[in-house]
Amino acid sequence: MNLTDQTVLITGGAGFIGSNLVHLLHAQRPDCRLVVLDRLTYAGNPANLEPWLSSGDVILERIDLADQAAVHDCLQKHRPSAVFHLAAENHVDRSISGPRPFIDSNIIGTYVLLEECRALWSGQPGRLLHVSTDEVFGSLGDSGAFTESTPYDPSSPYSASKAASDHLVRAWNRTFGLDVVLTNCSNNFGPRQYPEKLIPVIIRNICDHKPLPVYGDGSNVRDWLFVDDHCHALLAAMERGQTARSYNVGTRNEWSNLRLVEHLCDRVDAHLGRTDSSRRLITFVTDRPGHDHRYAIDPTRIHTELGWSPRYAFEEALDLTVQWYLQNA
C-alpha cells in the first residue's frame, strides 16, 4: 500500500512512538492526511504533535479506543485507508500494580478498532498495521533470539494483553479477511518518551543528582532500538509488508541494564561537563515480579523481505536522545 495521498489514522499518535511516527510521515509522505486518535492519558501529550497540530496539518481526536461509538464516528468521519495501531498501555510495572487498564486498552480497544475497520473497509481497500512487542515471547536464556515463529509465552499482565491483541488481529484476518500486518519490536528509546522508562528516568535523575534505580543485580538484558529507526520500519511494513505477515524489529544491540546505566552516566556527565562520575548514584532496588531475563530480536525477515535496516549507530542515537532530554527538561 502506497500512502501517498491517503488518509492515515495513527492510534496513540500523541504518545512516544506514535508522535515520532507522525513526524516521520509528515516528512516522508507530505501528501498524507494525518489523523491522530489518542485518549491523552498521562503518556499522551499534544505538544508532541507540534507545530502541525496548531497549523491544522494533523487532526487530533481525543477518544478512548474502547469507546466503540466514538471510534465508529471517528472512522466514518475521516475514512482512513491506512491505520497504524500503536495505542496501548505499555508499562510493565503499572500492569503489575493495576492490570485492568491494560485489558481495557490493549484487548478491548484492539477489538473495537478491528470491528470498526472491518465495517469501514467492507468492499474497499484498507490496511491495519498492528504494533506489538517482543515481550509477548517471554524470556530468553543467555543465547538465541526471538524469531517470528517463536511461541508466545508472556510473563506480565502487560505482555499477556499484547499477546491477546496480536491473536485478535490474526483472527480478524483469517476469519474476516481484514488486511493486517503485525510488527514486534524490541525496547525503544529516543525523544518524547514519557519519563517512566529506563533511559529517560536515568537521564533525568543524573541531571537532578538523584539515585539511579537498577532492578535486582542489573543483569537483565534488552535489545535497544532507536525510535526513528523503528518508525522507518513501521512505514516499510505498512507499505510493503505481506498481508497477515509479522515482522520482528530489532537491531541486535543488547545491553544489560547495569551496563547501560553505567554508559548513560558517562555520556550524560560528558554532556554536562561533570568530572564527578554519576555512577556513584547507582542504587540496586528489589527486582519486580516475573522480570524476564533477556530479550533479543532476530530481524532477518524485515531485512531480507522489506529492505529495512537501522540508520543510526547506537552511540549517535543515544547522544541525540540525551541532547533532547537536556533541552526539554
Q: What residues act catalytically? A: 134-135, 158
Read off the DSSP letter of residue 7.
E
**CB-facing half-sphere around the CA of 245: CA atoms within 13 A:** 16
**Among residues 162, 6, 175, 170, which one has the least CA distance to residue 90?**
162
Cell numbers standing for residue 261: 546505566
Task: Tell me the three state secondary structure of residue 183.
Answer: strand
d(CA 206, CA 198): 12
Q: Is-contact 65 113, C-beta < 8 A? A: yes
Cα Rg, the chain, nearest whole Å: 19
DSSP string, 27-59: HH-TT-EEEEEE---TT--GGGGTTHHHHTSEE
Ramachandran assignment for 278, one of left (phi > 0), alpha (psi -120 to 50 degrees), beta (any other): alpha
Cell numbers standing for residue 253: 544491540
